[in-house]
Amino acid sequence: MAERLTVLLSRMQGGDRLARDAVFAAAYQELHRLAHFRLRDGGRNTVLNTTALVHDSYLRLVQSGELKIEDRRAFFGYASQVMRSVIVDSARARLAERRGGKVQKMTLSPELAQDIGQDEEGIVKVHEALLELEAADARAAQIVQMRYFGGYGNEEIAETLNIAPRTVQRDWEKAKVMLWAILKSA
Amino acid sequence: MKLSTDQLSRMSRLLEDAIDLDATQRKMWLEALASEDQDLKEALRHGLLGPGEAGADPLSLPVCACLPDDATGLKVGDRVGPYLLTRELGHGGMARVWLAARVDGAVKREVALKIPWVGTPRQGLAHRFALERDILARLEHPNIARLYDAGATQQGVPYLALEFVAGKSLLAWADERRLGIRERIELFLQVLGAVQYAHECGVLHRDLKPSNVLVTDSGQVRLLDFGVAKLLQPQSESGLTRVYGRAFTPEYASPEHIQGDPLLPGSDVYSLGVMLYELLVGSRPHRIKATDSARLLEKAANRPPADRPSTRLGPEAGTTRATPQKTLARQLRGDLDAIVLKALAAVPDERYGSAAALADDLRRHLKGEPVTARPAYLSYRFTRFIRRHRTGVANTAAAVAVAAVAGSYLSSTVTERTPPVSAALGDRPIAVLPFVALPTGDGSTAQGVSFARDVSVALARTLANFAWRTIAVPDVEIQTDPAEIQRLGRKLNVNYLVSGNFRHADDQIRVDMQIMDANTGTQIWADRVETPEAKAARFPDLVLLRTTAVLRRAIYKVTADRIAGTPPQGLNPSEMVILADETEDQDAKVRLYLEAMHRDPDLVPALVGWADRLRSLEASVAENERNLQQADDLSMRAIRLAPNDADAWYVRGWILWHQDRYDAAITANAKAIDLDPSYAKSYVARGLYTISIGQPEAALPALDRARDIDSTVDGIASRTACRAFLSMGRYDEAVQNCERAMATDESVFAHVYLTAAYAQKGDMARAAESRARLLQLRPSLTLETLRGHSNKSDAKRFREQWDKHVIAGLRTAGIPER
């Protein structure tokens, strides 16, 4: 696996789009697993913050300076997206369980679903609000996804979006106002 | 009312203007909002100013585990397991570290509480932590920070409680105090001692770097995080994490570590090499960007050799080492360049085989002796010789004589240093591979690995002061194919591989052991130790101690066989001592001990061996006293040089006993047993000393233990037991034990006891027979000569027992009074 990834990465460095897709596919499971780890702590503590996870996993490799900047950007964005989907799925699963029904098709272990934390409903709502925000202000939505779900800091987000960290912070403030408004109006 | 996409887009544009304003300005801005945007006014007001008039209610989103800044993390005062967080000490790539205090128990201890970043799956975590914790918690060394506890909270947050060390990192400490090269090396020797100890226990550090080496104000080195990297490493099925999630610091990691190959003790040696490089010159041998992992991986294998340290002195080096730059370069050039580069060899088998071997070479350098890292050039050895004997050489008149002496010195030392002869010991350790538990199962494999670790630790203790070093290699597979054994030997850089298996069979625990010669790939020795299960159950360490005792003897024998027949000039001093210990030829023994001490006056086994020999020589009273005094001096010197040498304490005990200092003898001997519980003769000595203070009944358990551990001491143990029973007036048992002793140990004293015991029993025929044999062995024997015992009060009870049972018996048997 490791060997294959190395080969893929070098092809990816050479600009091979297919290789990039393959790397992302290979990374999916890993990201999924990382997200689960994080959820196990359900926000009770932050020792499992994503940035640290990402640094300590193989993602470190992907982040390394050898990758083309656009590939790295794509990867950060991708990682946040995977994180988001895992978190939201977990929250929904937990909600479904709490309501006593098995409405949702559960792909997660029951053990995990118990651990997600207290505010599943809120998390799902943020996710839905974010869908609306995406339509109106894609960049702000991307920032929310990376920061809120992906756990990235301003610096990484700035690099990914190729904007100044200061702009990221401003957009985050803006996005919070809009999310709040969306949540309020729903 | 739900906001439309159009409304949201407008809101986004409006916020562009408002977001940079402060609260007052925002209020004004809201009031000035254009009429077409009035539909957004309420939402904007809430968003920008908060719901209440008090304002400043930050918009909060539901807590998600992922928010890096906003989420509530651990903070001072929180509890993690039984610990209360006091303050944050710092954080690194692997974990955040808190100063914490244990709050549940009686012990109020401050610990460094390490909480890993990496989430480890909860399943199996507690078990794995417990397993590793037990291994790590056994590391007890003055230069290693203790691991007190490892566990997980009920929420599954893993934590490690480590000894809190107040100190500075190695490099900072050395620079602040402006240590010169010699002081730096001396400091580093402490590090090497600690690493060697851990390797003997089968624990690799896996992340050695200066920040893991703290130095306290008093100058004591403390190594942090031994084995912790392995503990924190996520154990998952995912190949990705296994390869890339490994915790290491690229600048200090060995090439094989970076490539993800299994780690060996040599991998730690490499990291030590990087540290030593940096400690000496102030920069690291390779510049590696920490984020550079893809290239790191690619290029790890063909990393170019490091520059010689002497060429890499930074401009600040002179200042921080309080030494002129030129002098520094000269001090490093040659030996130290060679030593550091040998530790940094890209291929493990070109490195030092152990931390101890690196330490030995550094010590040789400090003493001005030739180092193994440099080839045996005549000119080099000559230079070393001149340096060591500078005073003699300075005298030009004696130049010719010196050249002649040097000539002979060269001819002998060059042979001495040439492999394979010195490789019999040399700087290559003995590897203890896992013992296989048969029949194999999951539990029993772990048992085998832990048994191998225990054997390694026990052997390391028992062999410590010889050039033999041991390492436990718990992660390799046992090989039977000679080529594979050779390959493994090269990889581990050892001469001997010890392995074996154990099984339960017919109420016995059977341990089969073998020693393989790594150079030829063949088995050179094998033996079996069988222990009744019932006995093993009563005495939990028995199997281990018996195995160790047999292996210790075997390693001596194998080495002695290998070097037997080599002319003395071809032996190194350690080898001479081994031959001296093994040989029955008394003259050769004396010659070998003396020659070894002459070559190396600090060689502890030689001092101890010679002291032991001196104290047991039989000579005139005056001469005995002189010998004993000399033995006394030698043993004290040995203990000063090696305070943890069991043999030194054992011999010390004997010398004290000869001086009739029985309590002190018992204490010294207890120390020997403590340091090496596998050496059966020290239990016999304990028995004898206990008899000497008039408590013969207390001697019996020690003597039983001696016989249990090592059947080869059966003779002297039985003889001593005979003496104990005699002192108690239990003559039948005394006879029984003496007859048993005769089978292997027909000494004068066995006959003395036996004669007295028969006479006391009233078996005069046998007493007369025994007396005849005794007088044959020692015609001059009288009761007078046997009475020469201490008049000190602590021997009073013993004297009474001796007179009542032994002297009286012998008198009855007809031994003359004087």
Instruction: Give the model confidence (pLDDT) of B772-810 as tens digits.
Output: 998 888 888 888 878 765 555 567 788 888 889 999 999
Q: Tell me: the pLDDT tens digits for B616-628?
A: 887 777 788 888 8
Predicted local confidence at residue B760, as pLDDT: 93
pLDDT-derived band at B106 (thresholds 50, 70, 90) equals low
Phi, psi dihedrals of residue B524, rounded to the nearest 5°: -115, -5
What is the C-alpha to C-alpha distance for residues B225 and B247, in angstroms, rounded to an integer?
12
Mind listing the pLDDT tens digit for each residue in A142-160? 998 888 777 677 777 888 8
Count of beta carbons in the 10 Å neighbourhood of residue B141: 17
Residue B66 to residue A37, Cβ atoms within 8 A: no
Q: pLDDT-based confidence at B495, cuts 50/70/90?
A: confident
CA nearest to A35, candidates A75, A102, A88, A76: A88
Q: At what angle do helices B586-599 and B604-616 cross, to 10 degrees?
A: 140
Q: What is the mean pLDDT of residues B173-200?
A: 93
Question: A141 — contact with chain B (CB < 8 Å)?
Answer: no
pLDDT of residue A58: 44
> Range with the lowest mean pLDDT among B300-304, B607-611, B631-635?
B300-304
Nearest to A58 among B67, B156, B241 (CB): B241
Average pLDDT over residues B544-553: 90
What local confidence, expressed as pLDDT, does residue B796 receive? 78
* Contact call for B64 and A133, based on CB within 8 A: no
Structure tokens at B146: 């203790």
**Closest chain A residue to B59, measured at CA:** A176
How confident is the model over B754-768, as pLDDT tens digits?
999 999 999 999 999
> Could you tell me if A98 lies within 8 Å of chain B, comparing CB atoms?
no
Q: Does A122 touch chain B (CB under 8 A)?
A: yes
Q: What is the pLDDT of residues B687-729, one digit of tens each?
A: 999 998 889 999 999 999 999 999 899 999 999 999 999 999 9
According to the model, what pLDDT value does residue B175 have?
A: 92
Say yes or no: B65 contacts chain A, CB-CB below 8 A. Answer: yes
Residue closest to B372 by CA, chosen among B476, B467, B279, B301: B467
Please measure the distance between the N-terminal and C-terminal CA atoms of chain A and give it in whole angstroms: 46
SS3 B34: coil
Residue B608: pLDDT band (50, 70, 90) is very high
Q: What is residue B46's predicted lDDT score, i.e. its pLDDT?
A: 78
Contacts of B104 (CB under 8 A, 6+ apart): B82
pLDDT at A11 > cutoff 50: yes
CA–CA gap between residue B134 and residue B128 (Å, rounded): 10
User: Cβ of A6 and B298 within 8 Å?
Assistant: yes
| Cβ of residue A30 closer than 8 Å to a chain B Cβ | yes
pLDDT over 60 at B502, yes or no:
yes
Give B522's strand partners. Answer: B517
Instruction: Tell me the mean pLDDT in the region B661-680.
Output: 89
A 68-97 near B (Cβ less than 8 A):
83, 87
List the Cα angle B11/B14/B20 in 5-degree steps: 120
CB contact under 8 A, B244 and A140: no
Q: Which residues from chain A sit within 8 angstroms of residue B247, using beta carbons?
A: 56
Res A102 pLDDT > 70: no
Of the pLDDT bands very low, low, confident and very high (cuts 50, 70, 90), residue B452 is: confident
147-166 in B: which are within 8 Å (CB) of A?
155-157
- As a whole number, the mean pLDDT across chain B is 79
Kindly report the average pLDDT of chain A as a whole number.
Answer: 66
Lowest pLDDT segment from B56-70, B124-138, B188-202, B672-686 = B56-70
pLDDT (mean) for B146-167: 79
Contact B117, A47 (CB under 8 A): yes
pLDDT for B189 equals 96
Residue A1: per-residue pLDDT:
42
**pLDDT surpasses 60 at B202:** yes
**CB-CB contact of B332 with B162 (8 Å):** no
Mean pLDDT of B666-671: 91
- Asked if the C-beta of B9 comes within 8 angstroms of chain A's C-beta atoms, the answer is yes
Distance in Å, alpha carbon of A156 to nearest chain B alpha carbon: 12
